[in-house]
Amino acid sequence: AGLGDRGRFKLVEPGPLPLDDESLDVVFSKDAIVHMPDKVAFYREALRVLRPGGLMVGSDWLRGDETTLTSRAQSWLDFVHLDFRMSDLESTRSAISNVGFEKVSLRDRNEWYQTEINKEISTLEGENFSKLEELIGKDEAGYRLESSRLKKCAIDDGFLRPTHFFGYKPGASEVES
């Protein structure tokens, strides 16, 4: 595509980004902020490294309100043993806005993911499960299937909310969206 000199990907640890102030047009994050204990610090860093008008865009796992943390959702959290630090949609919107981003928008993808998780489970079951066992072993394949089944409950109960988010750094004309 001839764009090799126009973009870079950089894997970094949470904390101060090894980038100059106002050095990027876009900051992108995919399913990483959920693991960060201090999300506000990340949003602040993203704002710092963006040029005026720059775009922060991402997709991450958020959660519903406290009423959605059902026993089924808790079963999934206990099963996967991940150190998720999920925020709800309103806390996330506020955090992004409060560090200085403008035109902040969040798109809750829970309804879409309810359909996708059913496809995922169907793909893992039956003949496909045997193929998966051959590839990754019986225990890992069983874990993957059970994790997806439990995740479905967390999604159906409204707890697990995959969300896309966008915010612009105030200033010059915005990056093409």
- 115-172 pLDDT, tens per residue? 999 999 999 998 889 999 999 999 999 999 999 999 999 999 999 999 999 999 999 7
- Whether 17 has a pLDDT exceeding 60, the answer reads yes
Q: Which tokens in the block code for residue 138?
A: 């019986």
The 8 Å CB, 24+ separation contacts for 39-43 are 39/85, 39/87, 39/92, 39/95, 40/95, 40/98, 40/99, 41/14, 41/15, 42/14, 43/95, 43/96, 43/99, 43/101, 43/167
> Residue 20 contacts by C-beta under 8 Å, 6 or more apart in sequence?
49
The hierarchical CATH code for the domain 24-168 is 3.40.50.150
110-124 and 127-136 are packed helices; what angle lies between their axes, rounded to 10 degrees? 80
pLDDT digits (tens, 9 = 90+) for 52-98: 999 999 999 999 999 999 999 999 999 998 767 889 999 999 999 99
β-sheet with 24-30: strand ranges across: 24-30, 50-63, 160-168, 102-108
pTM of this structure: 0.84
Instruction: Please state the domain extents for the chain.
Output: 24-168
